[in-house]
A = this chain, B = another copy of it.
Amino acid sequence: MRSPLANAVEAVLFVAEKPVSRAEIAKVVGGTPKQVDAALLELAEGYSGTGLRLAHDGDDWQLVTAPEQAPAVAAYLGADRLRVSPASLETLAVIAYRQPVTRAEVEAIRGVNCDQTIYTLMQRRLIEERGRRDGPGRPILYGTTWEFLECFGLSSLDDLPRALTPEGTVPEAEAREVGGSSSP
């Protein structure tokens, strides 16, 4: 039976899409670095004979697929399509059409928490920070990247297609009103 700490570390590494340092793991799971070391060792041993592996580069740790599963992974990932979830695509759409925007503005438009999707899009280099908005807390502004344009085959942001609803084109003024409702 695995220790509770090892399970917490596993869950964190599972959702992380980049290597996580031992110190950060310790902070979020609430353990000492030494306990985290033991948990990581426990996990690494547990993954033997499964489809996953625990990889590390120095003190940075990451869950990856086992090398021998490369054919299945390649078969799944093989098709040339963008690897983002529908939720991330929605967040990306809001940022692409409204940039620069803050996280709170994206959430006001989507109506749901966007922490994880913004994090994922940053990891994928589809969005980036664009300075900060004046005002309380100086929230971070997000915009799309050069990789975003390349990924979608756009020569510039002006090439973004106009949004269509079943009723027809959304008047830009109305759309702006919706999006702007949360910003001062």
Contacts and interface: CB of A to CB of B under 8 A. Distances in A.
Contact of A11 (B46, B69, B78): B69
Given A112-B123, A116-B77, A52 B11 contact: yes
Contacts of A132: none
A161 interface: no
A68 to B, nearest CB: 8
A163 B112 CA distance: 29
A86 interface: yes
B17 A66 contact: no
For this complex, into which size category does the number of interface residues on chain A fall?
Answer: 35 or more
Interface string A1-27: 110001111111011111010001001
Given A2-B50, A10-B51, A66-B7, A76 B28 contact: yes
A51 B11 contact: yes
A1 B28 CA distance: 31
Given A7-B49, A14-B52, A17-B83, 11 more contacts: A1-B49, A7-B51, A7-B69, A11-B69, A12-B72, A17-B84, A28-B72, A30-B72, A77-B116, A78-B115, A111-B124
17 contacts: A2-B50, A2-B51, A6-B51, A7-B50, A11-B72, A11-B73, A12-B73, A15-B77, A16-B76, A17-B85, A24-B76, A28-B72, A77-B119, A79-B116, A111-B123, A112-B123, A112-B124
The 8 closest A-B pairs by CB, nearest first: A10-B51, A11-B69, A7-B51, A111-B123, A11-B51, A11-B65, A28-B75, A8-B72
